[in-house]
Amino acid sequence: MTREEAQKEIAGLSEKINYHNDLYYQKNTSEITDYEFDHLLDRLIQLEQEFPEFKYPDSPTQRVGGTITKEFETVYHKYPMLSLSNTYSTEELKEFDQRVKKGLNDESYSYFCELKFDGVALSLTYENGILTKGVTRGDGTRGDNITNNVKTIRTIPLRLKGDFPGEFEVRGEAFLPKENFLKLNREKEDIGEEPYANARNTASGTLKMQDSGVVAKRGLDCYLYSMMSDSEKIASHEASIELLIKLGFNVSRTFAKCDNIDQVIEYINEWETKRMELPLETDGIVVKVNSIQQQNVLGYTAKSPRWAIAFKYKAESAATLLNNITYQVGRTGAVTPVAELQPVLLAGTTVKRASLHNANEITRLDLRLGDTVLVEKGGEIIPKVTAVDMSKRPADSKPIEYITTCPECNTELIRHEGEAVHYCPNLTGCPPQIKGRVEHFIQRKAMNIDSLGERTISLLYDKGLVYSPADLYDLSFDDIFQLEGFKELSTQNVLKGIEASKETPFESVLFALGIRYVGKTVAEKLAQGMRTVDRLANATYEELIEIPEIGDRIAQSVLVFFQDPVNRQEVKRLENAGLQLEIKDKPNTKISSALADKTFVVSGVFENYSRDELKETIKNHGGKVISAISGKLDFLLAGDKMGPAKKEKAEKLGVKIISEVDFLKMIEQ
C-alpha cells in the first residue's frame, strides 16, 4: 500500500467510525453490528501503526486509549473554576434570591436550574473545533492535564461540526454511571478485592490513571453544562446550553428556566425523588441567574459567584431494627457480614439487607442485635448502616462476636495481616467457594459457556460431578441428561457450549482460573507478558513485576497460585482437555526488515507507546523480542522506571542500551 492510499483509507475509516459513534452515543441507534464496528476500528488501528504520520489528534482510535502518561502536567485555568456556596433549606434559597434582587436594583431577572451531578469537574478546550485539552478542576486556579484520558470518554466530541468559535472552553462533569459502578464492584469482589466506596471517587481515581487504555474500559461518561469564549457573545446561560446541544455536546435534558424563586423551589421538589431514576448520582440542584450581563453585575466573592448557589438534598435515611447478622462466603473465601433488617422503605425501594463489609465496620458502629439503626443508600445505590440510635438500645444487648469458623464448612477462619476481611482457607472443600469458582470460570468474560448457569452448576455439584472447572470437560451426555429439568436438546446445548469454550483465547482462560487480584485487564497483561501458561507458572517475582501494571500484590498472588500442586494439576487437566493456554501468533503484519536478525529486551515505562506496542513494532520491522538479558542480546530498549538490575547486567555484558527516541530513529531509517 502506498502512502497516498493509506492516507485516503485512514481518512475514510475515520469518517465512517465517527459517523457510527455519533449514531450510537448521541442518537441511541445503530446501523451496523458491534462486530462490524470493531472490524473498522481494528483496521484503522493497524493502518495508524503502519503510517503514524497520518494519525490525527482527533482520530477515533483515541477512544480506546493505550497512551501511558507518567506525570500529569499542571495547567492554569484561563477562567477560574470556582466552587459554589451551598444551602440545604428553601429559606436560605429565598435569602439568596433577595440578595440577587438587591444586587440588580430590582431589575427583572430569571434563573436557570440544573441538576448537580456528583462527579468530577472537567474543563475542555477546543481550538478550531478540535479537542486540544482536558483539565481537572484542581484547586480552581490550576488543574492536571488529563487529555489522553478525557479522549476515551465516548460522549465527548473530539472534532466538532457546524459553526463554532475559533477557541472556547466547555465545563462539564465526568461520572461513572451507576450500572458501570455496580459492574466494576462485582468484578472487584469476584477477584477478592474490597469494592469501591462510591462512584464519584472511583471516577476521580480513574481519570488519574496512567494507562488511558484502562480508563477506556471503565466506561466513564460526561455531561456538559457551560461554555466560555472571548469571541462568542452569548446573552444567557440558556443560550449557551442551546449552543452546546447544537454543537453535539452531551447535555442532560433535565434543566429548566425559572421565572422566579417559587418556580425554582417547584423544580427542586420535582427532582427530589425523580433524580433517582437517572443513570448517575446527583446530590442537589444548581441555581444560576440566567443573564450573562446580570451575572457580571453581581460578580464574585473571593470563593464563589454571587449569581449562583447549590441547593443540596439531605441524604435520605430511615430507622429500622437490626434483626440478625448473617455471613456470606464468596468465591475467594472472603466472608462478608450482612445486616438482616426489619423491612423499611428507602429512596423508593424496600430495604431488607445491608452489607457491613467486615468485622472492623461492626466494631466501629458498635452494632448489637436488636439495635435501632439508621440506613442510607450509599451513593443512592447500595444500602448501608450508618449509625445506631443509642437511645433505643435494649438494656440487655451484648456486643456482637464475629464468627471464628466458616458458616458453610466449619473451617477456622483466617485474617491476613493488614487486611480487614476474614477468609475461609478451605478452597477445595467449602461448597460456596467450589461453586463460585466454577461460576466464575463459565461467565461471559471468562470462558463464556452461556448454556450453563448457577442452577446447573449447583445440580452438578450436588450430584458429585463437578468440583472444579476441569471437571466440566469430563462430563458425558448421561451425566447432564440425568439432571432435573434437562432433556436431549438442553443437554446437547451444554455439551456444545463446553466444547466451543476450548477456542477461548489464553487471556480469557487465565482470567477464568480465578487467581486472586487477577481481573480481566490484569489477565491480558500477564498473557501478553508471558505468552504461555508454562512460562507464567515458572516465572520469578522479578519477571512478573516487569510486566506493565503488575505490582507486588498481583505478582505474589500469581506465585502463590502456581506454587500450589492442586492448582498446577488443575491447569494440567485444562491443558489436556484442549484449552488455549498460550497466545496465538497474529497474522504477519511485517512492515520492513529494518530490524532483521536484531534482538530486543523492552523494559520500563515509555512516553509515547505502551510496552506491548513497542514489542509489536519491533516484530513488524523484522526484529525479535526476548525476555532475558544475555551476551547475545543486541539492544536493551530502556524506558523510565526500568529496574536497576537489568541496566547493570546489560552494561556488564556490553549490551547497547537505547532510548525510545533512538529506537524510533532506527525504524525511520
Task: Look up 116 and say whether it is catalytic.
Answer: yes
Measured between alpha carbons, how far is 293 from 500 in angstroms, rounded to an integer?
Answer: 66
- CB neighbour burial string for 72-100, b if at least 16 within 10 angstroms, e if fewer: beebebeeebbebeebeeeeebeebbeeb
Longest dimension (CA), the chain: 87
Q: Cell match 461513572: residue?
A: 176
CA 288 to chain centre: 32
Strands annotated E in 522-623: 599-603
Rounded to an integer, what distance in angstroms lies between the CA atom of residue 375 and that of residue 42?
Answer: 48
Which run of H or of E encompasses 86?
strand 86-87
Q: 261-274 and 90-103 helices cross at what angle (nearest 10)? A: 140
List phi, psi (to 5°) of 115: -70, 145
CB within 8 A of 611, min separation 6: which ones? 548, 602, 603, 604, 605, 639
User: What is the CB neighbour count within 10 angstroms for residue 654?
Assistant: 8
Burial code (b: 16+ CB inside 10 Å, e: under 16) for 404-426 equals: eebebeebebeeeeeeebbbbeb
Instruction: Please choose, from the candidates 318, 319, 320, 293, the residue with its C-alpha nearest in 3D space to the C-alpha of residue 307.
Output: 293
Distance CA 62, CA 487 (A): 49
Name the residue among 326, 330, 311, 380 with its Cα closest to residue 356.
326
- 427 is written with which cell numbers? 478452597
**3-state helix/strand/coil string of 131-191:** EEEEEECCCCCEEEECHHHHCCCCCCCCECCCCCCCEEEEEEEEECCHHHHHHHHHHHHHC
424: left (phi over 0), alpha (psi -120 to 50) or beta: beta
Q: Are 343 and 374 in contact (CB under 8 A)?
A: no
The active-site residue out of 55, 94, 116, 445 is 116
Catalytic residue numbers? Answer: 116
